Structure formats: C-alpha cells, structure tokens
C-alpha cells in the first residue's frame, strides 16, 4: 500500500506541474487543430491527421511542439520523473481537454474525432 501511495503522489505532482503552468502556444494549437488537419497525439505533441497539411501548417505545428518539449523537459527536471512519463501525462490531459470535433489519437494510435 505505501508503494502505491508513493506512485500516486508522484503522478499527482507530475500532473500538477503540467497543469499549474500553461503550455506554450496553447492558443496557436487550438487554431491549428480547428483546421482538422492537426490533432493531439498520445505523447503530448501535435501530429498530422491529414497528409494534405501544408508545409506552413506543419512548420507551425513543429514550432509548437518544440515549445511543448522544452516545457516537458522543465517539468521532468523539476519533478525528477522521466520525460516519457511527463509526455504521456500531458498527452492524456491535452486529449481530454480537446474540444468536440477535434482529432485525437486513441490508445491504439488511431486518429478519432473527439465527441
């Protein structure tokens, strides 16, 4: 039981670290996701849903992803948790907060529209 409590405490700290500070370029990601060509992946980054996404759109997406990665690295360093864990927690949070109609990846990595 103490081990489970310790894991839950660490998980809550990671979530709090991500939730307490806004992700960089969140507004820009909303605009990109509204195109229907970009969506939230399971690992906390934006991904291309539709291969017809323009080079400019992909460049904007990559810029946002660079900012997210920098943020996740900071949270990882502050909490002592692996970067992959921080990314997974952020991915879950971002997919959960996505608006209805936006594209998100499910656990199998398939693109689905959020209802």
Segments making up each domain of the chain, as ranges: 2-113
Q: Is the model's pLDDT at 21 over the cut of 80?
A: no
Burial class (CB in 10 A: 0-12, 13-18, 19+), 88: middle
Q: pLDDT over 70 for what percent of the chain?
A: 77
Q: Is the model's pLDDT at 86 over the cut of 90?
A: yes
Alpha carbon of 32 to those of 39, 76, 77, 115: distances in Å?
8, 26, 29, 18
Q: Which residue in the block uniquely carries the two structure tokens 């529209």? A: 113
Which pLDDT value is given to residue 20? 42
Integer distance in angstroms from the first to the last C-alpha of the chain?
37
State whether residue 80 is helix, strand or coil: coil
Picking from 10, 5, 25, 7, the residue whose alpha carbon sits closest to that of residue 78 is 10
Which pLDDT value is given to residue 72? 96
* pLDDT digit string, tens, across residues 47-76: 999 999 999 999 999 999 999 999 999 999
Burial class (CB in 10 A: 0-12, 13-18, 19+), 29: buried
Q: pLDDT over 90 for what percent of the chain?
A: 73
């Amino acid at each position: 039981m103490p081990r489970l409590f310790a894991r839950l405490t660490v998980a809550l700290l990671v979530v709090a670290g991500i939730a307490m500070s806004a992700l960089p370029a969140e507004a820009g990601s909303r605009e990109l996701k509204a195109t229907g060509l970009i969506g939230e992946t399971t690992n906390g980054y934006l991904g291309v849903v539709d291969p017809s996404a323009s080079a400019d759109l992909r460049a904007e997406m990559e810029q946002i992803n660079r900012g997210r990665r920098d943020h996740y690295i900071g949270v990882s360093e502050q909490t002592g948790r692996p970067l992959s864990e921080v990314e997974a927690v952020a991915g879950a949070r971002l997919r959960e907060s996505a608006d209805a109609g936006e594209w998100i990846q499910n656990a199998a990595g398939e693109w689905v529209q959020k209802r």
